[in-house]
Amino acid sequence: MIAVDTNLLVYAHRRDVPWHDGALRVLLELAEGGEPWAIPWPAVHEFLAIVTHPRIFVPPTPMPTALDALRAWIETPYCRLIGEGPGYFDLMCALAAGHRVAGPLVHDMRVAAICLHHGVSELWSADRDFSRFSTLKTVNPLPAR
């Protein structure tokens, strides 16, 4: 199963970012592909925090519009929302111990541990920080600019 990170959701949603077309194409391929794919719960929350933030986007996305955008992806037949569950804590501890995680990288560790917990084969993200977690294959599906 492929999981997508926040940045792909943001890029697919916001037409005013340079990677919009590529990210939208990637998400549409997943949504229409007939195979299960996932959005980690932390990516849902981070998406909402980013697209509605008035210092990041002018104008920011209104919350009802942002929620509708998420709902459109979540309600596709093959999308799964994934989060913490029994056994997650042990995976998180292993990642923390093996990858010198601190500060802002704790969020990325959380997403990586959730993905590993749910058997995600690849995390698609434009964020290179995930590459530090060697037990989780990360792929940037956007073409180089």
Task: Of 127, 138, 113, give the one whose Cα is nearest residue 7.
Answer: 127
144 — pLDDT class (breaks 50, 70, 90):
low
What digits encode the pLDDT tens for the residues 105-143?
A: 999 999 999 999 999 999 999 988 888 898 899 999 997
The single-letter code of the amino acid at 49 is A
User: Alpha-carbon Rg of the chain, whole angstroms?
Assistant: 15
Amino acid found at 140:
N
Rounded distance, CA 53 to CA 82, Å? 24
Q: Alpha-carbon distance 30 to 27, whole Å? A: 5
Residue 19 confidence class, pLDDT cut points 50, 70, 90: very high
For the chain, give every domain's residue range.
Answer: 2-139
Which residues, at least 6 apart from 6, have a Cβ–Cβ distance to it below 8 Å? Answer: 42, 43, 46, 47, 50, 125
Q: At residue 7, what are phi and psi to the nearest 5 degrees? A: -60, -35
pLDDT tens-digit readout, 73-92: 999 999 999 999 999 999 99
Q: What is the mean pLDDT of residues 56-63?
A: 97
Segment 22-41, tens digit of pLDDT? 999 999 999 999 999 999 99
Give the C-alpha separation, 61 to 36, whole Å: 28
> Can you read off the two tokens belonging to residue 83?
């989060």
Domain 2-139: give its CATH code.
3.40.50.1010
* pLDDT over threshold 90, residue 102: no
* Matching residue, tokens 């920011």: 60
**What's the average model confidence in pLDDT over 50-73?**
97
Query: How confident is residue 145, by pLDDT bands cut at 50, 70 and 90?
Result: very low
What counts of helices (H) and strands (E) characterise the chain? 6, 5
Q: How far apart are CA 52 and CA 68, in angstroms?
A: 13
Residue 104 has pLDDT above 90, yes or no: no
Whether the model pTM is above 0.95: no
